[in-house]
Amino acid sequence: MPAKQLTPEIEAWIEQRWSRFPEGAAGKALTLGVLYQAQEAFGHVDTEVIDLVATRLGLTAAHVRGVATFYTMINPREVGRYHLQVCTNIGCMLEGAYKVFEHCKARLGVENKETTADGNVTLSEVECLAACGYGPVAQIAEKGKPEIPLYFEELDLETVDKILDGLEKGEVPTELGR
């Protein structure tokens, strides 16, 4: 397999952003943004991606690894095509989020942070998504499609089943999102 390279989109983004930061500080300041976009491009952030980002931004691999392992939105391992993230924090819990989460676990046959055998769905219990009045809330990330920005709110088991049906068929039922 040829060595990974940052995509032209990431290069353009670095170019455009560089001047917004003081001299000497830009490389480091762009660490989070480049890591996230590299994850979108490669699916997850492993040692190879860390080295790639460090070299491009003129940073040590140790720094980039330190950042990558600090933030929960960076996945060190491959996740499924869909990453279903269910909030169970207090607002959602009071609305029955654990019932929703347990239902997802049972239907997908996975535990928290596991991926279905076919690699289609990774299920994660996540912390507050700042939509507490409309719980239970879930967010779905589709690999390579960062443009699904929807929250799925006021989930009940029926809606969750519709979402899981959709993911099984390879589509995010965006009409259920807000």
Out of 4, 7, 13, 17, point to the residue binding another protein (CB under 8 A).
17
Among 58, 66, 119, 170, binds another protein (CB under 8 A): 66
Q: Can you list the alpha helix ranges (DSSP code H) found in the chain? A: 8-18, 26-29, 31-42, 47-57, 61-70, 90-94, 97-108, 157-168
Among 9, 102, 161, 171, binds another protein (CB under 8 A): 102
3-state secondary structure of 120: coil
User: Can residue 94 be called a binding residue for another protein (CB under 8 A)?
Assistant: yes
The stretch among 3-11, 15-23, 158-166, 168-176 that binds another protein (CB under 8 A) is 15-23
Q: Using DSSP bridges, classify how beta strands 114-115 and 121-126 pair: parallel, antiparallel or unpaired.
A: antiparallel
Is 14:34 a contact under the CB 8 Å cutoff?
yes
User: Does the footprint of another protein cover residue 132 (CB under 8 A)?
Assistant: yes
Q: What is d(CA 103, CA 27) in angstroms, rounded to the nearest whole number? A: 44
**Is residue 71 a contact point for another protein (CB under 8 A)?**
yes
What is the sign of the dihedral through the CA atoms of 112, 106, 131 and 159? positive
Binding of another protein by 22 (CB under 8 A): yes
* Residues engaged in binding another protein (CB under 8 A): 17, 20, 22, 25, 27-33, 35-36, 63, 66-67, 70-74, 88-91, 93-94, 96-99, 101-102, 126-135, 139, 146, 148-151
